[in-house]
């Protein structure tokens, strides 16, 4: 079993560790983590059952595979500080805006790298994990990584040029889905349904509709047509959503992410 380290133990790193340990693909005692706020780190590591480290160098020394999970703008400094300590290690980056080419320019030659883009549902093993086609991870490390990632969600490989668009869809997607859940939930509450039941209805409808599409492969437009009877109630709701610009709102949201 390989030992893995995390540089940064914020929202995404915690979601991944929760998913990895729940899947039992790795034991918490084989996971090391560093973050500057030691008090917060020790508390979070205690909850997750993993090992806090006093420095980034300690996390790197104790691990064979290091997940770069700090903010994208911090990575240059982290690499400079660690320098040759990264030699011979495999880096797995979750940072937005960092791809294989950018790492290759910044890392020592003997450090291998794979960029991925997870999303927060990895914490309940229902994530989407985009992995960049271009990488130089040794085969053994890549197989180990794939096994870990597959235990917490659906792994989808993309060429570098599509990682940004993919990240806008699945990396940012949970925020968009949460907004839909909250909005339809508000509508349900407005019409007298208890908030808890409203969210149960919306979430289960979202999960069910998604599974129906994935399992049958039927075009989503066709699935929508199937529940719109002529002159019926659903088509009135569909028309209201179109009038409010629902489709263009989502297209604009994804474009806004990509254009930065
Ligand atoms: N959140 C998402 O949905 C999501 C999705 C896909 C990818 N990502 C990527 O995941 C990365 C982390 O995002 P996040 O949402 O988890 O952010 P976050 O919650 O703000 O966590 C950032 C972590 O980095 C640590 N940190 C700060 N300065 C550092 C330094 N100099 N060296 C090492 N660690 C440092 C922070 O520690 P302190 O708290 O001690 O300052 C914290 O543990 C980003 O690169 C982001 O692009 C996030």
pLDDT tens track for 109-127 = 999 999 999 999 998 999 9
Which residues does residue 67 pair with via DSSP β-bridges, in sequence order? Answer: 6, 92
Q: Can you give the pTM of this predicted structure?
A: 0.94
pLDDT at 1 over 90: no
Ligand 1 proximity of 75 Cβ (cutoff 6 Å)? no
Q: Is the CB of 120 under 6 A from ligand 1?
A: yes
Band of pLDDT at residue 195, cut at 50, 70 and 90: very high
Question: For ligand 1, is residue 42 a contact (CB within 6 Å)?
Answer: no
Asked if residue 47 and residue 8 are part of one domain, the reply reads: yes
Q: What tokens appear for 93 in the block?
A: 């980056």
Our answer on whether the CB atom of 45 is closer than 6 Å to any ligand 1 atom is no
200 with 133, same domain?
A: no
Ligand 1 close to Cβ of residue 38 (< 6 A): no
Write down which residue in 161, 182, 217 finishes a domain: 161
* SS3 of the chain: CCCEEEECCCHHHHHHHHHHHHCCCCCHHHEEEECCCHHHHHHHHHHHCCEECCCHHHHHHHCCEEEECCCHHHHHHHHHHHHHHHCCCEEEECCCCCCHHHHHHHCCCCCEEEEEECCHHHHHCCEEEEEECCCCCCHHHHHHHHHHHHCCEEEEEECHHHHHHHHHHHHCHHHHHHHHHHHHHHHHHHCCCCHHHHHHHHHHHHHHHHHHHHHHCCCHHHHHHHCCCCCCHHHHHHHHHHHCCHHHHHHHHHHHHHHC
Span 51-103, pLDDT tens digits: 999 999 999 999 999 999 999 999 999 999 999 999 999 999 999 999 999 99
Residue 33 β-bridge partners: 6, 52
Report the nearest atom of ligand 1 relative to the CA of 15: 16
Q: 238: Cβ below 6 Å to ligand 1?
A: no
Pocket flag, ligand 1, residue 7 (CB < 6 Å): yes
Asked if residue 224 and residue 178 are part of one domain, the reply reads yes
Q: Tell me if 94 sits within 8 A of 67, measured CB to CB.
A: yes
The pLDDT value recorded for residue 57 is 97
**Domain edge (last residue) among 161, 187, 219:** 161
Task: Indicate whether 260 pLDDT > 80.
Answer: no
Residue nearest to atom 45 of ligand 1 (CA): 95
pLDDT digits (tens, 9 = 90+) for 210-253: 999 999 999 999 999 999 999 999 999 999 999 999 999 999 99
What is the distance in A from the centroid of ligand 1 to the CA of 74?
Answer: 9
118 lines ligand 1 (CB under 6 A): yes
Residue 106 resides in a domain: yes
Domain identity same for 23 and 116? yes
Kindly state whether residue 219 falls inside one of the protein's structural domains: yes
The confidence score (pLDDT) of residue 68 equals: 98
Answer yes or no: is 167 within a domain: no
Residue with CA closest to ligand 1 atom 2: 12
Q: What percent of the chain has pLDDT over 70?
A: 100
Whether 50 contacts 31, CB under 8 Å: yes
Question: Can you give the pLDDT at residue 8?
Answer: 98
Q: What is the pLDDT of residue 24?
A: 87
Ligand 1 centroid to residue 11 C-alpha, Å: 7
71 lines ligand 1 (CB under 6 A): yes
Out of 161, 191, 206, pick the residue that ends a domain: 161
Q: List Cα–Cα distances, 25 to 32, 57, 169, 170, 225, in angstroms.
A: 15, 25, 27, 23, 42
| Ligand 1 center from residue 93 Cα (angstroms) | 11
Q: Going by DSSP bridges, is the β-strand pair 31-34/112-117 parallel, antiparallel, or unpaired?
A: unpaired
**Confidence class for position 259, pLDDT limits 50, 70, 90:** confident
Both structure tokens of 115: 């960029």
Mean pLDDT of 32-42: 98
CA of 140 relative to ligand 1 center, distance in Å: 27
Q: Does residue 81 sit in the same domain as residue 111? A: yes
Residue of the nearest CA to atom 42 in ligand 1? 10
Same-domain status, 98 and 194 = no
Q: Average pLDDT over the chain, rounded to whole?
A: 96
Q: Is the pLDDT of residue 158 over 90?
A: yes
CATH classification of the domain holding 223: 1.10.3730.10
Choose the weakest-confidence range: 18-27, 59-68, 194-203, 208-217. 18-27
218 and 116 both lie in a single domain: no
Query: Which of 70, 115, 156, 170, when mutated, tests ligand 1's pocket best, judged by the most ligand atoms within 8 Å of its CB?
Result: 70
pLDDT band for 162, please (50, 70, 90 cuts): very high
Q: Which two tokens stand for residue 212?
A: 């129906």
**Residue in 31, 113, 19 with CA at minimum distance from that of residue 68:** 113
Task: Render pLDDT for 175-187 as a digit per residue (tens, 0 to 9).
Answer: 999 999 999 999 9
Q: What is the span of the domain harbouring residue 190? A: 173-259
- 35 Cβ contact list (under 8 Å, min separation 6): 8, 9, 10, 41, 44, 70
CA distance 179 to 97: 24
Q: Which residue of 6, 11, 257 sits with most ligand 1 atoms within 8 Å of its CB, as the best mutation to test the pocket?
A: 11
């Amino acid at each position: 079993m390989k030992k893995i380290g995390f540089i940064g133990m914020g929202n995404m790193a915690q979601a991944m560790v929760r998913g990895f340990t729940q899947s039992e693909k790795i034991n918490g005692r084989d996971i090391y983590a560093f973050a500057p706020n030691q008090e917060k780190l020790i508390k979070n590591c205690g909850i997750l059952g993993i090992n806090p480290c006093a420095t980034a160098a300690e996390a790197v020394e104790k691990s064979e595979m290091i997940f770069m999970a700090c903010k994208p703008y911090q990575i240059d400094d982290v690499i400079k500080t660690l320098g040759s300590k990264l030699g011979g290690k495999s880096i797995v980056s979750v940072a937005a805006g960092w791809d294989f080419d950018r790492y290759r320019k910044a890392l020592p030659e003997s450090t291998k790298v794979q960029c991925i883009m997870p999303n927060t549902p990895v914490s309940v093993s229902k994530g989407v994990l985009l992995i960049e086609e271009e990488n130089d991870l040794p085969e053994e490390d890549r197989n180990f990584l794939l096994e870990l990632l597959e235990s917490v969600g659906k792994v989808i490989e993309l060429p570098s040029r599509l990682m940004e668009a993919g990240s806008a869809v699945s990396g940012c997607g949970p925020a968009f889905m949460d907004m839909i859940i909250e909005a339809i939930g508000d509508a349900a509450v407005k019409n007298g349904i208890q908030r808890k039941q409203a969210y149960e209805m919306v979430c289960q409808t979202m999960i069910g509709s998604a599974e129906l599409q994935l399992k049958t492969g039927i075009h989503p437009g066709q699935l929508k047509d199937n529940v719109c009877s002529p002159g019926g109630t659903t088509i009135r709701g569909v028309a209201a959503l179109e009038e409010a610009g629902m489709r263009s709102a989502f297209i604009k949201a994804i474009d806004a992410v990509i254009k930065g």
